[in-house]
Amino acid sequence: MVTRGFFGRGRQDELGDRLPPGQSLTEGFPVLTAGPTPPVDVAKWSFTLKIGPRPVKQWNWDEFNALPQTRWVRDIHCVTAWSKLNTQWSGVLFDDILAEAGIEAPTPYVLAHSVDGYSTNVPVADLAVGKAMVALTYAGGPIPPDHGGPVRLLVPHLYFWKSAKWLNGLQFTQRDEPGFWELRGYHIHGDPWKEQRYTDD
């Protein structure tokens, strides 16, 4: 449900610095996926960190859950024009994944990969220093399968298509390589505050 205009004028002004241009608030949590929700068996799931084609570190479900966890409350913004305030997540910061792997970012770009074949590109500058996490819980419980459970990327300051669901790896790339939606007309960067929705925005 989109609740544009539901809040009084004062409240809208107060929200001004939370709601990017062209967005409306929703209380619900719409599901947006290119295909069906893929089954993810945590007994078979693993997370792989790669530099180009080369795997540098892999964690299974238990190992990944043993990494340091961070709790976040963040606003999220979908390119289909809904925003949702104060969503609660916990997971492993991008910074902590690199620290646990014992590496520093070797290239300026990352491609996130998912079990459904989805991918999305995000610059290291939009992941590092507390900007992104690999989320393991939503609203205090497991992430619902439709929302990317058991594991999704969360890059809350970019449009939500950058937050890849059913994540199974991050790959450092030399160049900013367009992912699934970036190859299909969506903006290469996707900053909601600059309304970077489509390729030429």
User: What minimum distance in Å lies between the beta carbon of 141 and ligand MTE?
Assistant: 14
On whether the CB atoms of residues 186 and 79 are closer than 8 A, the answer is yes
Q: Which residue, 6 or 193, is less far from Mo ion as judged by CB? A: 193
Residues present in the chain in total: 201
Q: Cis before residue 20, ω within 30 degrees of 0?
A: no
- Binding-site ranges for Mo ion (CB under 5 A): 32, 161
User: What minimum distance in Å lies between the beta carbon of 118 and ligand MTE?
Assistant: 3
Q: Which residue, 32 or 73, is less far from ligand MTE as judged by CB? A: 32
101 binds, among Mo ion, ligand MTE, none (CB under 5 to 8 A by kind): none
164 binds, among ligand MTE, Mo ion, none (CB under 5 to 8 A by kind): ligand MTE
- Binding-site ranges for ligand MTE (CB under 6 A): 30-34, 78, 114, 116, 118, 147-148, 160-161, 163-166, 181
On whether the CB atoms of residues 164 and 154 are closer than 8 A, the answer is no
User: What minimum distance in Å lies between the beta carbon of 4 and Mo ion?
Assistant: 19
Task: Name the CA dihedral angle for 65, 143, 189, 38, rounded to a multiple of 10 degrees.
Answer: 100
The two three-digit tokens of residue 92, written as one number: 């492993």
On whether the CB atoms of residues 45 and 60 are closer than 8 A, the answer is yes
Position of tokens 């089954």? Answer: 39
User: What minimum distance in Å lies between the beta carbon of 20 and Mo ion?
Assistant: 15
